């Protein structure tokens, strides 16, 4: 797939539109001019979400009350799609070929893989971001999975509200069991789907990874269930239900659900050591890039076309040697969008990249 063009209206400080190159696109310019905003606009067009804020109204330009992002996407089968995301206050509208569309049909028209300094938290911090990394990959192959996640979150919130009300309303333990059981049954059903999907995706990534991209260290990953060592995980539903029963009073006491795939993690090891605990900053960057490239190759194996790759402020995260190796690898594979404030990087790759200079939000092609 290729993002042929994008046009924005009232999006942060950006103005106008851009026609992109088919291979490597380098977005340069001084700091504070809007380079990252163009990456964010592409990501939002693709996913209907920002990777920088959960409050979408923050992307609307100052003194404006709406924003729109439009883009044209070409697929390898010579099919074109016109995408639009419109945001006004707390309302978001997504359109495909001029018609309003539901998110499950919209997602996948333009699939991005994102590498930023903020994304490094995936390997550095808690398990939530690693679960999100897996879930994004699964959705790229199985659109219905986004509804599974939404249903699970809805049931989890309902159960938590019920657990919190037990003590407040003086509900007996016997009555509470009766009230909680229907929610537990749904959590077990949805939890098994999530567990199986994440395990399958992690195993597929593991088959591609093997070694880090830049070096010869062995990278291994493994999906770790909250049910680990609690029984035969092949009988997931039975073990999950048994644990819910045994932890019922503990959940009542805490006031929230203690068990479920929202407690799972993705284990990442670098030469047999936990990357989060023992990995250097360089190793953590290498691990994330390696995971991203594995996700790109896995997507291609499924869809027979490549996703787009977004790299923000790449020279702040990777040295020149690693940037050169990465660009060489990506050449001819995936359409790449990369921001930098370093003039020497622009000159170095000018011969085989589309170069854009961003000033006051406007992106001008200079070669």
What are the tens digits of pLDDT across the range 120-143?
Answer: 899 998 899 999 999 999 999 898
The pLDDT, as a whole number, for residue 212 is 67
Spans of all domains in the chain:
1-111+307-367, 122-303
**What secondary structure letter does DSSP report for 129?**
H
Count other Cβ atoms within 10 Å, centred on residue 280: 10
The pLDDT, as a whole number, for residue 321 is 83
The structural architecture, per CATH, of the domain 1-111+307-367 is 3-Layer(aba) Sandwich (3.40)
Q: What percent of the chain has pLDDT over 90?
A: 66
Distance CA 275, CA 257 (A): 29
Asked, colleague to colleague, whether 1-111+307-367 and 122-303 share their fold, the answer is: no
Structure tokens at 185: 């049954």
> At the top level of CATH, which class does the domain 122-303 belong to?
mainly alpha
223 DSSP β-pair partners: 266
Distance CA 78, CA 82 (A): 13
Q: Indicate the average pLDDT of the chain.
A: 91
The pLDDT, as a whole number, for residue 328 is 87
pLDDT above 90 (res 214)? no
Contacts of 286 (CB under 8 A, 6+ apart): 212, 213, 214, 215, 217, 270, 322
The pLDDT, as a whole number, for residue 312 is 92
Task: Give the N- to C-terminal CA distance of the chain in Å, as an integer.
Answer: 23
**What secondary structure letter does DSSP report for 21?**
P
Distance CA 194, CA 138 (A): 10
Phi then psi for residue 353, to 5 deg, are -145, 155
């Amino acid at each position: 797939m290729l993002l042929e063009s994008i046009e924005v209206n009232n999006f942060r400080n950006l103005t106008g539109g851009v026609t992109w190159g088919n291979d490597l696109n380098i977005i340069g310019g001084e700091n504070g001019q809007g380079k990252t905003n163009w990456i964010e606009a592409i990501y939002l067009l693709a996913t209907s979400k920002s990777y920088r804020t959960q409050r979408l109204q923050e992307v609307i330009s100052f003194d404006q009350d709406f924003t729109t992002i439009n883009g044209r996407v070409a697929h390898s089968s010579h099919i074109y799609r016109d995408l639009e995301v419109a945001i006004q206050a707390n309302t978001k509208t997504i359109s495909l070929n001029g018609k309003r569309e539901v998110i499950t049909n919209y997602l996948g028209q333009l699939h991005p893989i994102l590498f930023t300094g903020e994304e490094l938290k995936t390997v550095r911090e808690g398990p939530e971001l690693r679960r999100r990394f897996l879930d994004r990959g699964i959705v790229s192959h199985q659109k219905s999975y986004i509804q599974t996640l939404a249903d699970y979150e809805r049931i989890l919130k309902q159960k938590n509200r019920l657990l919190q009300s037990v003590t407040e309303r003086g509900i007996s333990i016997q009555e509470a069991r009766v009230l909680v059981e229907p929610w537990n049954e749904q959590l077990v059903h949805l939890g098994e789907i999530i567990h199986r999907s994440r395990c399958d995706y992690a195993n597929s990534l593991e088959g591609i990874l093997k070694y880090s991209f830049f070096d010869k260290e062995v990278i291994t990953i493994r999906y770790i269930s909250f049910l680990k060592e609690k029984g035969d995980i092949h009988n997931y539903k039975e073990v999950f239900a048994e644990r819910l029963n045994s932890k019922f009073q503990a959940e009542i006491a805490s006031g929230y659900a203690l068990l479920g795939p929202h407690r799972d993690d993705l284990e990442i090891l670098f030469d047999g050591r936990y990357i989060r605990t023992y990995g250097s900053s360089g190793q953590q960057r290498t691990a994330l890039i390696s995971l991203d490239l594995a996700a790109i190759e896995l997507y291609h194996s499924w869809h027979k076309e490549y996703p787009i790759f977004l790299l923000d402020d790449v020279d702040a995260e990777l040295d020149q040697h690693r940037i050169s190796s990465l660009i060489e690898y990506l050449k001819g594979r995936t359409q790449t969008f990369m921001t930098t404030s370093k003039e020497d990087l622009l000159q170095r790759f000018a011969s085989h990249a589309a170069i854009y200079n961003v000033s006051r939000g406007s992106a001008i092609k200079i070669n």
